[in-house]
Amino acid sequence: MGKKRIIQKTEAELLEEREKVEAAVKKEIKLEVPLKKINEGKVYIAASYNNTIITLTDPLGNVLTWTSAGNTGFKGTKKATPFAASKVAGALVERAKKLGINRVSVLIKGIGSGRESALRSLSSHGLNIISIKDITPIPHNGCRPPKVRRV
Domain boundaries, the chain: 40-134
The pLDDT score that the predictor gives to residue 35 is 46
Local confidence band at 30 (pLDDT 50, 70, 90 cut-offs): low
Closest among 125, 141, 150, 144 to 54, alpha carbons compared: 125
The pTM of this model reads: 0.72
Q: Which CATH number fits domain 40-134: 1.10.3720.10, 2.30.42.10, 3.30.420.80, 3.10.105.10?
A: 3.30.420.80
The radius of gyration of the chain from alpha carbons, rounded to an integer in Å, stands at 23
- pLDDT tens per residue, range 61-77: 999 999 999 999 999 99
- Distance from C-alpha of 43 to C-alpha of 56, rounded to nearest angstrom: 5
Closest among 63, 85, 90 to 74, alpha carbons compared: 85
Q: What integer best gives the mean pLDDT of the chain?
A: 89
